[in-house]
Amino acid sequence: MSIQTNDHVIETDGLSKRYGRKHALDKLDLRIPRGRIHAIIGANGAGKSTLFRILLGFLAPSAGRARILGRDSQQLTPADRGRIGFVNEEHTLPGWMRVSAIARMHHREYPRWNQRAYDEVIGHYHVLPEQSVGQLSRGERAGFNLALALARSPELLILDEPTLGLDVVAKRAFLESLMYSNATADCTVVYCSHQMEEIERVADNLIILEHGRLMHMSAPEDFCSRVTHWVADIPFKGPEPSTVPGLLERQRLDGLHHYLVLDQDEGFAEFLRSAGARSIQSMPVGLDRAVNAFLAKNHAAPAAAA
């Protein structure tokens, strides 16, 4: 049977998953193109873990469909799974086994095993072949898992919070071994993390989920360009929040009004002047603040499903 290919590594159509009256995924339509590093972010409960479990065939949807590498996610074969690498936050491996034994086992199991890729990635960590997994630090286990995943020569690599719980040095080693590995050249990476500094460093494409729905998808810099920070000297309390166009966040500091707004151009300055602003200044916003304000604004709990 020939392997189906297309321009998208992940496709969902009306994908829904309900737990009782709660929607973990709510008619999600998503297309992730082949190639590059795609970051999926969202607040807790946004549906990221549920999406991954359905895509990997571990969970059945309530409605809709999901395809991964052109295959229905509920009908993945062992050969299909061999095309997909997966690293999660737990980095679970048998603690009693030696590093060399696990590497040999994976070498036998995956016909596309790339020893050079394994050596290249594991070289970022002080991991010895004779060590048992139980002797490795959390950061070393993370690096070992990444080396095993990339050595399989996957077409798609899914990383679910891979640096959670790692110290600064281990996080840096993980990101560098991911970004600079030749093994990622022909591999699409889907990276899920709450760490905006990581996303800003590695991601080519930013995907924001909230309450199981797609809220935004673009290059990170394009998303940042949608959010601006305005500072205005306005007498008294200023305009009512409900009247402020595109408002994500507001504060009053040292007598000045600070507004974080979405999709507002110079017309927003006119709005502030009409509210009595005596001086106005605008400035760009970093990814971390832009995303956090966007998520906070959209995180109000939706009504329970009927």
Co-location of 102 and 202 in the same domain: yes
pLDDT at position 302 over 70: no
For CA atoms 265, 268, 270, 273, give the dihedral sign.
Answer: negative
What would the mean pLDDT of 134-162 be, rounded to a whole number?
A: 94
- The number of domains in the chain is 2
pLDDT at position 110 over 50: yes
Structural domain containing residue 251: 223-298
CATH number, domain containing residue 88:
3.40.50.300
- What backbone torsions phi and psi does residue 207 show, to the nearest 5 degrees? -120, 120
Tell whether 96 is covered by a domain: yes
| Model pLDDT for residues 267-279, shown as the tens digit of each residue | 999 999 999 999 9
Tell whether 1 is covered by a domain: no
Co-location of 68 and 181 in the same domain: yes
Q: Which of 218, 235, 254 is the last residue of a domain?
A: 218
Q: What is the pLDDT of residue 254?
A: 87
Q: What is the mean pLDDT of the chain?
A: 91
| Model pLDDT for residues 4-48, shown as the tens digit of each residue | 446 899 999 999 999 988 889 999 999 999 999 999 999 888 899
163 within 8 A of 130, measured Cβ to Cβ: no
Nearest by Cα to 197 from 305, 298, 115, 291: 291
What would the mean pLDDT of 50-56 be, rounded to a whole number?
A: 95
